[in-house]
Structure formats: structure tokens, C-alpha cells
Amino acid sequence: MQTFKFIRPADSAAAIAAAAQSKTAQQGADVRFMGGGTTLIDLMKLNVETPTRVLDINRLPLDKIEDTPDHGLRIGATVRNSDLAYHPRVQRDYSVLSQAILQGASAQIRNMATVGGNLLQRTRCVYFRDTAMPCNKREPGTGCPAITGSNRTLAILGTSEHCIATNPSDMCIALAALEATVQIQGTKGPRVIAFGDFHLLPGSTPQRETVLEPGDLITHITLPPPASGSKQLYLKLRDRASYEFALASAAVVLTITNGKITRARIALGGVGTKPWRSPEAEAALSGKAANDVTFRQAAEAALRGAKPQSENGFKIELAKRCLTHALCTAAAS
Ligand SMILES: Cc1cc2nc3c(=O)[nH]c(=O)nc-3n(C[C@H](O)[C@H](O)[C@H](O)COP(=O)(O)OP(=O)(O)OC[C@H]3O[C@@H](n4cnc5c(N)ncnc54)[C@H](O)[C@@H]3O)c2cc1C
Ligand code: SF4
């Protein structure tokens, strides 16, 4: 691990000014914020991330969970994943988020990991984490060995010829289905980004994963008021029952009135290069009878654009069954 300077900025303005000196906000940035450090320090030990300055943001006043005037929820960027998962309002009104967080990582990691850091966790693609290998995301222009190599766990939706890395987050899948927004403070002032616009598809620039610019600090995530009477579920399928990333997952938020689906918000994990909201599945559900046939049709629609590689074709049927089962279970709850 290369040597670096550890700095505790006095306030957000100092943190943003220091981070703005970085040439990029993404991979390769030489000044980095640190939340829990469970991604950043991990990757620094592997020499995948090599910042010269690490800005510890844990003393900034961003650790509160507060009701918004319209009965939504405003979550500070340094709130720990565990604190969010066990917050009474999250458990009552946004249970899909609580379920998703509690199915991720381990209790120890969730106690350290922050909300802001979770949004920016990096892919678990084995080539990305091995500096002896080429990787377009880590070193742009060097190639993507995963496309012809080990790709069993990688993405089937949103891929490009330059990168097929999966976004590994569970929490972000629930945030996508809940239509969260991301509050950012940067050198030009504050701005708000819809969750679906925050992460970028890899395209020809897989090293650029989000819309963040140098100096941009995530300050809060906001959840809109909960959909009244909604049924929520997060289902995660993986190689072992705990401490493992998703092969396929589904976050569903359904409102059913008199047997008909009046509102559906659907997102998939483990299969997309970004947290994968599925407007196709939502359209296939909206206004239809809440039954097994409708649910399978929605799953077919969600995976219609899937592009498998040599080892991950099984994910198409797995993701369809995951979403169908999540919808059946939520509807019956
Ligand atoms: C062994 C292991 C297993 C795991 N399993 C799972 C799993 O099953 N599911 C899952 O979803 N996750 C899993 N994780 C990932 C874990 O959830 C993330 O590492 C964690 O959420 C990152 O949060 P952090 O606060 O530690 O981030 P950090 O490591 O502190 O930061 C991550 C990135 O975010 C940037 N950053 C942090 N805060 C801000 C901010 N406020 N504004 C702008 N940039 C910021 C940092 O500069 C860095 O680039 C696992 C991790 C490990 C190590
Ligand atoms: S899939 Fe993406 S992260 Fe993995 S080797 Fe290819 S470019 Fe790198």
C-alpha cells in the first residue's frame, strides 16, 4: 500500500475544497473522501486505489436520519448501514431498504459502512481487483479480459464491449425502487440527482461510474413519502446464504387494490452494470391482475434486453425466477 496523508477536514467546505484539487472524482482520484473505509481501504491494500490524500468525513454533521416536511426521510451520508436498516421509520415505511441492507456483507461491515460509501462501492470483478491484469475500468484502454474470461458473476444488462462489471450493491437496488434522490454539495453549490441518473452505464468510459465531479461530496439521500399501503420485498439469490454478493436480486414495491396492481416499482441487482430499475417490468405490471401469469410476464419483460457472456447465461432465468418469486411473495404478504 502506498503512503498517503490522512486528513480530518473541519467542515464540509474544507473537505470539498481539498477534494476539488483532484483531477477526477472517480478511479485514480488522488484525493478521496473516506466514510467507513470498507471499500476504499480494502482497495488501497490491493494497490487498486492509490490516493495520496484521504479525507476522513466522519466528523462532519452528516450522521442524522430526519423526517422531511412531506413525511419522506432525509438520510445523512455518514449514517451507518446498520443504523439505517434498524431505524423505526425505515423498518415501517421503507422495509425493502432495511431488508436489502441486512442481506449485504456482514454485521461488522454494516456497522462501519456508510450510506454515501455504499453508493460508490466498486465492482467485485476479479480482474479489476488484480493489478497484474488488464482492465478498462482500472486502467482505461488496456482491455476487458472478463468478456472472454471469468464472467460468471458479471452483468447481463447495461454492458458494453468495454466492460461488463456488475454493480454489487444491495442497498442501491432498494434505493432505485424507492425512487430516492442524492443530495450533492460541490464547488458550485448544492444539487439534487434522481437516483436513476446517479450511476452511469460503462459505455466506452467504464472508469467513470457516477455523475460526481471533483470535490463533490454526497451529503444526503432523500426518500420520497412512502406509497401508502405498499407491499415491499427484497429477495437476494447468491452462492451461499450469507456474506456473499447477489447473483440476482429483486426489490419490489407494489400497491394492489382489489386484486389489481395500481403501482409497481421494480429494481434488479446482481445483473446490471448499475442498480437496475426496470420500467419494462413496471409497465407489464401496471393495471394488471396480481397473479402468477402477470408476474412472470413482468420478469420476461425485465430481462428482454439481457446479453449473456460465456459463463453467466444462467443469470437470465435466475433473475426471472427471482423477480417472479419476489412479486408472488410480496403480493401474498
Ligand atoms: C467482505 C465484504 C463483503 C461485502 N458484501 C456486500 C454485500 O453483500 N452487499 C453489498 O451491498 N455490499 C457489500 N460489501 C460492500 C460494502 O457495503 C461497502 O464496502 C460499503 O457500503 C462502503 O461504504 P464505506 O462507508 O465503507 O465506503 P468507503 O470505503 O469509505 O468509500 C467508498 C467510496 O466512496 C467514496 N465516498 C465515501 N463517502 C462519500 C461521500 N459522502 N461523498 C462522496 N464520496 C464518498 C470514497 O471516496 C470511496 O471512493 C461488502 C464489503 C466487503 C469488504
Ligand atoms: S468487466 Fe470491467 S472491471 Fe472487469 S475486467 Fe472488464 S473492464 Fe475491468
pLDDT in tens, 111-122: 999 999 999 999
Measure the CA–CA gap between 198 and 211, rounded to whole angstroms: 6
For residue 169, which atom of ligand 1 is closest to its CA?
11
User: How far does the centroid of ligand 1 lie from the alpha carbon of residue 323, in Å?
Assistant: 26
Residue 203, classified by CB atoms within 10 Å of its CB into exposed (0-12), middle (13-18) or buried (19+), is middle
- pLDDT(234) > 80: yes
CB atoms within 10 A of CB 329: 15
Question: Within 6 Å (CB) of ligand 1, which residues are found?
Answer: 32-40, 42, 57, 77, 104-105, 109, 112-114, 116-118, 120-121, 168-171, 217-218, 245
Rounded to the nearest whole angstrom, what is the distance from the C-alpha of residue 313 to the centroid of ligand 2?
17
Average pLDDT over residues 223-227: 96
- pLDDT for residue 320: 98
In this prediction the pTM is: 0.98
pLDDT at 23: 84
Range 186-208 average pLDDT:
97
Closest atom, ligand 1, to C-alpha of 218: 42
Share of the chain above pLDDT 90, in %: 96
DSSP string, 184-240: EEETTEEEEEEHHHHB---TT-TT--BS--TT-EEEEEEEPPPPTT-EEEEEEE-SS
Residue of 71, 42, 46 lying closest to 225 (CA atoms): 71
Residue 313's pLDDT band, with cuts at 50, 70 and 90, is: very high
**Pairing, β 217-223 against β 231-237:** unpaired
Residue 180 pLDDT class (50, 70, 90 cuts) = very high
Does residue 231 contact residue 285 with C-beta atoms inside 8 Å? no
Range 103-115 average pLDDT: 97
Name the closest-CA residue to atom 8, ligand 2: 135
- Residue 242: the pLDDT is 87
CA-184 nearest atom, ligand 1: 42
Q: For residue 19, name the pLDDT band (cuts at 50, 70, 90).
A: very high
Q: 124 C-alpha vs ligand 2 centroid, how far in Å?
A: 9
Give the DSSP H/E element, type plus range, for residue 266.
Answer: strand 260-269
Closest CA to 281 of 303, 260, 259: 303
Cα–Cα nearest to 232, from 288, 271, 179: 179
Tens-place pLDDT, residues 239-294: 998 899 999 999 999 999 999 999 999 999 999 999 999 999 999 999 999 999 99
